[in-house]
Amino acid sequence: DRSTDRRFFGHPLALTTVAVTELWERMSFYGMRALLIIFMTAAIQEGGLGLTVAAAGAIYGLYTGSVYFFGLPGGWIADRLIGGQKAVWYGGIIIMIGHIILAIPFKSTFFIGLIFVVLGTGLLKPNVGAMVGELYSTEDKRRDSAYTIYYMGINIGSVIGYMICGYLQTTYGYHYAFGAAAVGMGLGLVFYKYSGHLIDGVSDKPKTPLSDKGIRLAWLIIGTFLVILTLVSSVIYTGTITFDPSVVGENVAYIFAVVFVAYFAYIFFNGNLNYNEKRAMGALFLICIASTCFWSGFEQAGSSLNLFGRDYTQRMWGDFEVPTGWLQSINSYILIGLSPFFAALWINLAKRMIEPSYSIKCAIGLVIMASGFIVMFFASQYAASGLKVSMNWLVATYFLHTVGELCLSPVALSAVSKLSPKRFAGQMMGLFVLTYSMGNIIAGLLAGQFDPSNVKQMPNLYLQIAIFCIVVGVVLIILSVKTGKWEKLAGKAPGTVS
């Protein structure tokens, strides 16, 4: 019985099945992601694709955006067709095939590999995230700390990915690094299978299965989609149609936002929700807004902050020159270090009955992340005056970003799992993962606005991000006085009032 199982740091052993599988999936994802831009922009003679920075940046944004967008159909497929367990398994296999294709040193297969990673991650990511919460009953107080452990696993995976793939790339070449990502995902799959008995009964069936006719129709649609995808990619591939990735990127941001609102509204109005479930969904909506704004600032790490690290930061540490890429992993190290502290903090506050609501924690997380950009505002002013600044500026920024991340990201995952109506578990997690997608694309568009050779505009950009996120955060803090009460209604009988 999982409710009394405390074998894994006070948690059911089943948490290892879910967290370790996701750890390896993230190792493969971040390991590959760390090299993606470098690979695309490296000259062909150096083994890269020889794309311009603008094209590579836009493809990168579209790719990361799509990876998370496909969480929505992925969640739906689990809820209505195959259940979360199978979705994670097949998703993992598709991801691994994608990395194997990337490891093949033919330039021509590169985009096909990426498409596999996108589709596989869509199936795996929301469903593995939803499964964590399904190990606990609504009353179980361990849910938040379970998500903190799970989130720590994500970051351990990403650090392993950065280190191993980064090393292999510089020593043996890109395709070995992509190969390592395939091996990582493979290890995750082996662990998932091997420890699968621990999650017996968790999401092993679709929650609201379709009728037989519906099932046939759904597979027909999925099949048609895959055929169209294959045709469109081959047409783009043969060069019959060309497209400008930057233009596509901008439009996709709007499309994703419309899809998000429409899907949310669809569940809200047509999901047969009772009064309490609707209130809880209201609280979740605010959390999704906080999450979107959060990632659009936070994800500057891979782009504008990365360039700032490369061009305007004094990276000597004694005689050693710190590689630019290392600066980004500061986030994961701080996160792993601070996670136990945050887990203890929430438990402590809960014991004193003063634990803030999910909504408030997320809104505060957004404000703390934004304050990191005030640090960058000053740092980039020094840089604009022609100085190379100390690495401590970026360290301070990443510290604030990480503290914000710990208030928001694992907390929001836990909130989604607790506040969503159970029959929509996968789809709601898919919707939440779509906030990553929107955040990543907006981040890309913001970063694309400035040109690294014109450092004078940098302080302004950072100040704008800071002010915007602080204003949204403060509004959300005020609104969360109300939505925090709504959260308490989740899972209660329809007649209960707050």
- The identity of residue 165, as a single letter, is C
CB of 347 to ligand GLN, least distance (A): 22
Give the residue with the Cβ less far from ligand GLN, 98 or 459.
98
CB of 435 to ligand GLN, least distance (A): 8
CB of 146 to ligand GLN, least distance (A): 15
CB of 158 to ligand GLN, least distance (A): 7
Give the residue with the Cβ less far from ligand GLN, 19 or 389.
19
Q: Residues 81, 464: contact at Cβ < 8 Å?
A: no
CB of 162 to ligand GLN, least distance (A): 12
CB of 443 to ligand GLN, least distance (A): 9
Phi/psi at 384 (5° precision): -65, -25
Give the residue with the Cβ less far from ligand GLN, 68 or 373.
68
Helix (H, G, I), strand (E, B) or coil at 321: strand
Q: Residues 300, 449: contact at Cβ < 8 Å?
A: no
Give the residue with the Cβ less far from ligand GLN, 152 or 360.
152
How far is 97 from 66, CA to CA, in rounded Å? 18
Give the residue with the Cβ less far from ligand GLN, 15 or 455.
15
Give the residue with the Cβ less far from ligand GLN, 169 or 402.
402
How far is 429 from 125, CA to CA, in rounded Å? 9
Give the residue with the Cβ less far from ligand GLN, 313 or 409.
409
CB of 437 to ligand GLN, least distance (A): 8
DSSP 314: E
CB of 216 to ligand GLN, least distance (A): 34
Size of the chain in residues: 498
Give the residue with the Cβ less far from ligand GLN, 42 or 164.
164
Q: Name the site residues for ligand GLN (rule: CB under 6 A).
A: 26, 154, 295, 409, 436, 440
Sign of CA dihedral 210, 214, 219, 225: negative
CA 27 to chain CA mean position, Å: 13
Give the residue with the Cβ less far from ligand GLN, 339 or 440.
440
Q: Residues 372, 334: contact at Cβ < 8 Å?
A: no
Helix (H, G, I), strand (E, B) or coil at 208: coil
Give the residue with the Cβ less far from ligand GLN, 23 or 182.
23
Residues forming beta bridges with residue 389, ordered by sequence position: 313
DSSP string, 124-186: HHHHHHHHHHHTS-TT-TTHHHHHHHHHHHHHHHHHHHHHHHHHHHHHT-HHHHHHHHHHHHH
How far is 53 from 43, CA to CA, in rounded Å? 11
Give the residue with the Cβ less far from ligand GLN, 117 or 455.
117
Residues forming beta bridges with residue 313, ordered by sequence position: 389
CB of 295 to ligand GLN, least distance (A): 5
CB of 337 to ligand GLN, least distance (A): 16
Phi/psi at 314 (5° precision): -85, 105
Q: Is 250 exposed, middle or buried (0-12, 13-18, 19+ CB in 10 A)?
A: middle
Phi/psi at 52 (5° precision): -75, 160
CB of 314 to ligand GLN, least distance (A): 28
Residue of closest CB approach to ligand GLN: 436
CA atoms within 13 A on the CB side of 165: 35
Contacts of 437 by beta carbon, 8 Å cutoff, 6+ apart: 64, 65, 66, 67, 68, 69, 71, 256
Q: Residues 140, 3: contact at Cβ < 8 Å?
A: yes
How far is 87 from 129, CA to CA, in rounded Å? 12
How far is 458 from 322, CA to CA, in rounded Å? 23
How crowded is residue 428: how many other Cβ atoms within 10 Å of its Cβ? 27
Give the residue with the Cβ less far from ligand GLN, 32 or 154.
154
Q: Look at residues 67, 98, 60 and name the one whose alpha carbon lies nearest to residue 185.
A: 98
Q: Are strands 316-317 and 313-314 parallel, antiparallel or unpaired?
A: unpaired
CB of 384 to ligand GLN, least distance (A): 29
